[in-house]
Amino acid sequence: MKNKLVITSCIIAQSLLLSTAIAEESLGLPGVTVTGKNDPARPNLPDLEEKLSTVPGGTNLLDLDGLVSSKATLNDVLGNEPGVIMQEFFGGNDQPRLNIRGSGIQDNPVDRGVHLLYDGMAVNQADGSFVIGLLPTEQMRYMSVYRGANALQYGGSTLGGAINMTSRTALNSDNFIRFQAGSFDTFNGNIGVGGISGNWDFYLGAGYSESDGFRHHSSGERSNLSLNTGYRSGNLENRTWFNYTDNKFDIPFVVQKQIAKDHPTAVIGDGYAGFPPPATLPGPAVMHPKFGWNARGGWDGIFNAYKRDPHRDTQQFRLANKTYITRGNTEHEIGFYGENLDDTFTDPLSHTVVDAKNIGLHYSMLNKGSYLTQDDQFLLSIALNSGEMPTEYWVNNPENGSKLFRFGDLDLDARNATVGMQYTGSVTDRTKLVSGLQLLHSKREMKGTGSTPPSPGNFDKLVVDIDSDDSYTAFNPKLGLIFKPSEEISIFSNISRSMESPTFNHLVTRKVSPLIVPGVIINPPAVPPFADAAIGSGIALLELDEQTAWTFELGSQGSWADLSWNASYYYSKVEDELITLVTGFAVNSKTFNYPDDTIHQGIELGLDAVLGNNIFSSGDKLTAKFVYNYSDFEFDGGIFDGNQIAGIPEHLGYTELAYHIGKFYIAPNVRWQPSDTYVDHSNTQQQDSYVLLGLKAGYQPTKSLRFFADFKNIADKNYQTTYVIRGISAPNQPTFLPGSGFSAVAGMEFTWE
């Protein structure tokens, strides 16, 4: 691996010295016309820009071929976008916390709150959850982000909105090979090859990545394979996709704040967390002469990461098909998908083993004409999906992390039906009205057996039958206006309602004791009750309501001269917000509907500008990018009345200056979180503010060949990237995830037709 990095770095260094010609890079401002491969049913960049221009709300559009540096991870791609907040989580693999407008941020890790789609069809599991590490960015051509309740045509209903990923095909992408290597023995390699023969086309993509990670016990690897083929004849196109992803990574887990500051690469078990665990542990657990062994040594004794071996291992097979039909002024899309997901998530205390099977159907009909106004659009969309998610819950052996005792075995079934109707009409030549209504119905069924959770004085090994059936229904209206004072500028406003049903992770709560005796489980008094896996672990079902919100939004997108912008203000009043709190051990958690309202409001701002041309020499150019996200989330009543909702930085910014000369560019950048952020809802403990310096550089000697380098945290700043959220946090509790220190990657990309 080190040889790969040395060779790559030498190639790039030599290439940068050859730089003399005119710059070929573009700033990528809105409204840029892109020529090249196109297909009416597989939209190119101008088509997607036109589609998003009819949305009366905040949107983002990314052409991944326009990203000139690393795009190996989701954080590389989305981390510098207005309204999209990415927080690195485990540090070794592409498993960030994805957040839009505070939706789903309460979960650890975040696995809900945003509707994810491949080519307009859902990636989320049937209960609304997702595994974000399964998204191979290298095999995506475009990403369209609908912030808030603006993705009605895709069945999106969450507060956070939706992200639609357009796959690469032979019709929208050149062939390519790309690799990069860098710090922490990181390597990423990808290839994409396609072809067209008559009415047929095909595309094959494959990738592999691995990294040892910045922290101890944070290595990971991911491999993916994608294949799609299409047939076009007249006004009809049919396309089939196959995707396979295998993602594995170790989890370094959280540490106390002082350890995160003094020993950022360390994990619990390295000898720095030996101070006493929480006083909530029973005295006999620590003092017992025979079974108190795993409570001695404080946190290092209880949560030794090397012994408990927390990790995640996920494989996904996905098959999808979609037919596009155009008849006169009407466009039809009919699609279906099926997938199998094997997921084993091992935290320090338990295994959660899921073998999910999901199927879904999507239909949409768009009709354009002059019925009520000169430019009318009627949209009807139907999304149906169903999933079986049989799940087993196991207590971990604290000596080696293996499965010790199964305390839950549930058949979890979820079904959803969404119908959306939307009308867009031209009120005047410069004003459009957008109105819509979404009907949503969800079912959650849970059957099986489980041990009862431990409770004081209850030492029975009781296994109970579980049978629960919950349903959720919503009517979500939407009304918006778009005013265009010019062709390049739009001003929009909307009011909308959103609804989010609980996932199975919310409805099934688990409680596992960290003081489990490995080996044969026998009855008390030979083993103290708190150390018996059959007594010290259990599951319970929760009765939860759906989370709903009314959101008002006002904003503008456009360009003028050498400046382009993307700006939104939103205000959401949330009822029954799903709040998930972890215990002092940072593992066991419980979700509840907050009994009073919560307020989510913020500003999402992105600016791109050309600052000057021919500054130091003929043909050079200086460009700038500025992103600022302001998030003001607070409790409006209840036990936390007036407090900030933990989980999201109040201020988060990114600034980049790029100097282009000849075939070379260099772009220093700054990522800043200027204020401390509360990590608990009681607002007692904080994540420290930070400023991170970075640098991007590249050289493109020919149209087909590009070299790039990306340096992050070049000052080697010690900071905390994120944390688990509690009602109240104490300094001796493991809460924080240290951010990565200085890192560098270098790579090359070669394309051909």
Q: What is the pLDDT of residues 137-171, one digit of tens each?
A: 888 999 999 998 777 777 778 899 999 999 999 99
CA angle 483, 488, 490 (to 5 degrees): 25
Indicate the burial class of 234 (C-beta count within 10 angstroms; 0-12, 13-18, 19 or more).
Answer: exposed
DSSP track, 441-462: EEEEEEEEEEEPPPBTTB----
pLDDT at 21: 31
pLDDT band at residue 456 using 50, 70 and 90 as cut-offs: low
| Whether residue 514 has a cis bond before it, omega within 30° of 0 | no
Ordered by start, the domain boundaries in the chain are: 2-201+211-752
Nearest Cα neighbor of 652 from 82, 73, 77, 59 is 82
Kindly tell me if the per-residue pLDDT of 726 is higher than 80.
Answer: yes
User: Where would I find the beta strands (DSSP E) of 347-488?
Assistant: 350-369, 376-388, 391-396, 403-426, 431-451, 463-486
**Cα dihedral: 604, 610, 612, 616 (round 10):** 100
Pairing status of strand 589-593 against strand 578-582: antiparallel
What is the widest separation between alpha-carbon atoms in the chain? 85
- CA 677-268-260 angle, to 5 degrees, is 30
Q: In what order do the strands lie in the sheet with 115-118?
A: 59-63, 140-147, 161-167, 115-118, 121-122
Query: Is pLDDT of 109 > 80?
Result: no
So what's the pLDDT on residue 46? 81
Lowest mean pLDDT across 18-32, 275-289, 549-563: 18-32
CA distance 222 to 248: 6
pLDDT greater than 60 at residue 22:
no
Average pLDDT of the segment spanning 575-604: 90
Provide the token pair at 336. Answer: 């279906």
pLDDT at residue 91, rounded to an integer = 56
Q: Residues 473, 441: contact at Cβ < 8 Å?
A: yes
Share of the chain above pLDDT 90, in %: 69
Average pLDDT over residues 2-8: 39
Residues 727, 681: contact at Cβ < 8 Å?
Answer: yes
Q: With contact defined as beta carbons under 8 Å apart, do 598 and 640 qualify?
A: no
327 or 275: which leads in pLDDT: 327
Looking at residue 493, the DSSP 8-state letter turns out to be E
For residue 294, pLDDT over 80 is answered with: no
pLDDT for residue 35 is more than 80: no
Kindly tell me if the per-residue pLDDT of 65 is higher than 80.
Answer: yes
Residue 11's pLDDT is what? 34
Task: Using the predicted structure, report yes or no on whether residue 17 has a pLDDT greater than 50.
Answer: no
What pLDDT does 559 receive? 94
How far does Cα 87 stand from its chain's mean position?
9
Query: By the 8 A CB rule, do 122 and 114 touch?
Result: no
Question: Which range has the worst mean pLDDT, 70-74, 437-441, 540-544, 617-621?
Answer: 70-74
Least confident of 14-28, 392-406, 531-545: 14-28
Measured distance CA(184)–CA(178) in Å, rounded: 19
Please give the Cα distance from 739 to 579 (Å, whole number): 25
| Under 8 Å between Cβ of 449 and 461 | no
CB-based contact 361:323 (threshold 8 Å)? no
Give the C-alpha distances (Å, rounded to integers) separating 645 from 112, 187, 727, 753.
17, 38, 10, 50
Burial of 612 (C-beta count, 10 Å sphere; 0-12/13-18/19+):
middle
pLDDT of residue 236: 94
The lowest-confidence range among 44-53, 92-101, 259-268, 544-553 is: 92-101
Q: Write out the DSSP string of 256-298.
A: -HHHHHH-TT--TTSSS--S---TTS-HHHHH-TTT-GGGTTH
| pLDDT reported for residue 278 | 63
Those residues whose C-beta lies under 8 Å from the C-beta of residue 451, and which sit 6 or more positions away, are 407, 408, 461, 462, 463, 464, 534, 537, 538, 539
List pLDDT tens digits, range 490-530. 999 999 999 999 999 999 999 888 888 776 555 555 666 77
pLDDT tens-digit readout, 639-694: 999 999 998 899 999 999 999 999 999 999 999 999 999 999 999 999 999 999 99
pTM: predicted TM-score of the whole model, two decimal places: 0.90
Q: What percent of the chain has pLDDT over 70?
A: 89
Task: Give the pLDDT score at 453.
Answer: 84
For position 594, what pLDDT does the model report? 94
- The CATH classification of domain 2-201+211-752, taken from the options 2.40.170.20, 3.40.50.720, 2.60.120.560, 3.50.50.60: 2.40.170.20
Checking if the pLDDT of 410 tops 80, the result is yes
Specify the pairing of strand 489-500 against strand 161-167: unpaired
| Structure confidence at residue 90 (pLDDT) | 64
